[in-house]
Amino acid sequence: MKKVRIKFSPEAEQVYKYLNEQAKFSKIERSILNAVNKKTELIKANFHYGNPIAENLIPAEYKIKYGVTNLFRV
């Protein structure tokens, strides 16, 4: 089985850290964090999880900024 590594963008990493900090105090942040964690586990189990986005519909900004060649919506 291929090893899958989840890498967040810098913006998403910042939000993920915030959710981890606030999850102790806020039920909303805790539920969002749990949902993100569940989706990352699903992606690790099946790296084609989600709906594929057609290459011509991938924003040019993502291609330039993140080097995206394929994209899935989860």
* Beta carbons within 10 angstroms of residue 33's beta carbon: 19
Compute the distance between CA of residue 30 and CA of residue 33 in angstroms, rounded to an integer: 5
pLDDT tens digits for range 15-54: 999 999 999 999 999 999 999 999 999 999 988 899 999 9
Tell me the domain boundaries of the chain: 10-73
CA 57 from chain center: how many Å? 18
* Among candidate residues 57, 53, 47, 58, the one with its CA nearest the CA of residue 72: 53
For the entire predicted model, the pTM comes to 0.80
Contacts of 1 (CB under 8 A, 6+ apart): none
In the predicted model, is pLDDT for residue 3 greater than 90?
A: no
**Residue type for position 61:** E
